[in-house]
């Protein structure tokens, strides 16, 4: 990877951090503080902070993308760079170059950074499959969380500690998605992960991040019900938890369940938990090809969703899972049959804002006066 026209400052920063895995170029990321970065911490006053998932490699190689992130984001979150697979590839080896670079980049630009994620079934390195006792599983989970969270203590104010705890179609709160953690620790992995994170960084907000809770249908009813039960059971046992993350991968061809979602959010609020929108995008694989029509439909789906949420709670943040259609996970799973590129994000592949961007901007301010907390 090379960076166009590096300044002397870039060069010095790069040389200072030179190491394996392209660390020289990655560490130079921290030197890209631009004037646009002199922002109020947490974003413009009165507005819900907006942010995006980012890719460290693209921030290094793609200047226009990097500038768009700095200009538009109050918050960033690593799309993959803080997952187990990335930071803990071998049992006794951690690899923090990319995560460090993102944390530095955020700090240098006055952007907040969220952590994602500590206890998930996905993106697990192969070595974890060899864990073969309860004691070993607990020790590995705890040491991992201690190592990662302590490295960024005081720098990551909010962690997705638990990601996607429930199976696709749960019966109740005990229907946990199978993982190396449930295999050896059962449901105990949740309090272990949450308590360990809280012990290591008592200031960070602990988030349980979940998906597919916004649509109409029996599966989504079951997911909403199981999620509330799970939150209650954690609360009943005094397990520390501050917020629920709604991933909000919105499928344009599924019907939103306004009542179901609002009832979930009222339950979440009654448990005194905050709500964050953590991974918003609109999955457009089944929408018409015409771009004007498609962008309008995508924005409309997000508008209905944000209105439904914001009528009941003021989300602490709205993050999309990527800023620009140039870098999106959507085609990996939801490629269009007509071969046209997906358009799930607020900026198009040329980094021009789309109607979805305007909708997010509108909702960031719309309910500002209604909500005080």
Least distance in angstroms from the C-beta of 279 to ligand XIL: 6
Give the shortest CB-121-to-ligand XIL separation in angstroms. Answer: 10
Residue among 17 and 80 whose Cβ is closer to ligand XIL: 80
Dist CA 256 CA 173 (whole Å): 23
Is 164 a residue of the active site? yes
Of 161-200, which residues contact ligand XIL (CB under 6 A)?
Answer: 163
Choice among 79, 97, 140, 164 that is catalytic: 164
Alpha-helical runs (H) found in the chain: 8-16, 23-28, 56-61, 63-72, 84-87, 97-108, 134-151, 180-185, 189-200, 218-236, 258-270, 291-310, 330-333, 355-366
Binding mask 223-262 for ligand XIL (x = CB under 6 A): ------------------------x---------------
Both tokens of 12, joined, read 């010095």
Q: Can residue 80 be called a binding residue for ligand XIL (CB under 6 A)?
A: yes
How big is the site for ligand XIL, counted in residues (CB under 6 A)? 6
Would you give the binding string for ligand XIL spanning residues 128-167, x where CB under 6 A is met? -----------------------------------x----
**What contacts 24+ positions apart, CB below 8 Å, involve 332-340?**
334/283, 334/285, 335/285, 336/284, 336/285, 336/289, 337/285, 338/289, 340/289
- Strand 75-78, strand 50-54: pairing: parallel
Per CB under 6 A, the list member of 329, 347, 357, 363 interacting with ligand XIL is 329
Question: Out of 81, 210, 214, 279, which one is annotated catalytic?
Answer: 279
* CB 331, min distance to ligand XIL, A: 11
Residue 206: which H helix or E strand, with range?
strand 205-210
Q: How far apart are CA 298 and CA 283, in angstroms?
A: 8
Cβ atoms of 1 and 57 closer than 8 Å? yes
Catalytic residue numbers, as ranges: 164, 279
The site for ligand XIL (CB under 6 A) is made up of 79-80, 163, 247, 279, 329
């Amino acid at each position: 990877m090379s960076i166009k026209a590096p300044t002397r400052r870039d060069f010095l920063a790069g040389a200072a951090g030179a190491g394996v895995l392209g660390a020289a170029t990655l560490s130079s990321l921290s030197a890209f503080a631009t004037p646009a970065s002199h922002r109020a911490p947490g974003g413009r006053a009165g507005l819900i902070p907006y942010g995006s998932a980012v890719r460290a490699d693209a921030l290094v190689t793609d200047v226009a993308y990097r500038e768009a992130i700095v200009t538009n984001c109050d918050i960033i979150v690593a799309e993959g760079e803080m997952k187990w697979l990335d930071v803990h590839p071998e049992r006794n080896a951690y690899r923090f170059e990319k995560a460090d670079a993102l944390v530095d980049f955020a700090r240098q630009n006055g952007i907040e950074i969220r952590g994602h994620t500590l206890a998930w079934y996905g993106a697990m390195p192969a070595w974890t499959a060899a864990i073969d006792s309860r004691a070993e599983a607990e020790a590995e989970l705890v040491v991992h969380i201690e190592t990662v969270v302590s490295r960024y203590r005081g720098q990551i104010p909010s962690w997705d500690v638990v990601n996607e705890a429930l199976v696709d179609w749960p019966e109740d709160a005990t229907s946990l998605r199978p993982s190396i953690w449930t295999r050896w620790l059962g449901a105990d992995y949740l309090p272990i992960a949450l308590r360990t994170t809280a012990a290591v960084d008592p200031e960070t907000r602990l988030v349980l991040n979940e998906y597919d809770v916004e649509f109409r249908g029996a599966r989504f009813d079951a997911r909403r019900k199981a999620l509330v039960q799970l939150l209650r059971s954690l609360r009943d046992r005094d397990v520390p938890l501050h917020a629920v993350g709604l991933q909000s991968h919105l499928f344009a061809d599924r019907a939103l369940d306004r009542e179901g979602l609002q009832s979930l959010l009222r339950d979440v609020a009654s448990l005194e938990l905050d709500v964050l929108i953590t991974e918003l995008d609109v999955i457009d694989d089944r929408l018409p090809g015409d771009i004007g029509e498609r962008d309008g439909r995508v924005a409309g789906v997000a508008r209905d969703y944000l209105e439904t949420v914001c009528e009941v709670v003021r989300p602490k943040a709205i993050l999309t899972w990527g800023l620009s259609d140039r870098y999106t996970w959507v085609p990996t799973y939801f490629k269009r049959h007509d071969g046209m590129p997906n358009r799930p994000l607020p900026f198009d592949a040329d980094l021009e804002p789309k109607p979805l961007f305007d909708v997010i901007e509108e909702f960031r301010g719309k309910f500002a006066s209604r909500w005080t907390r």
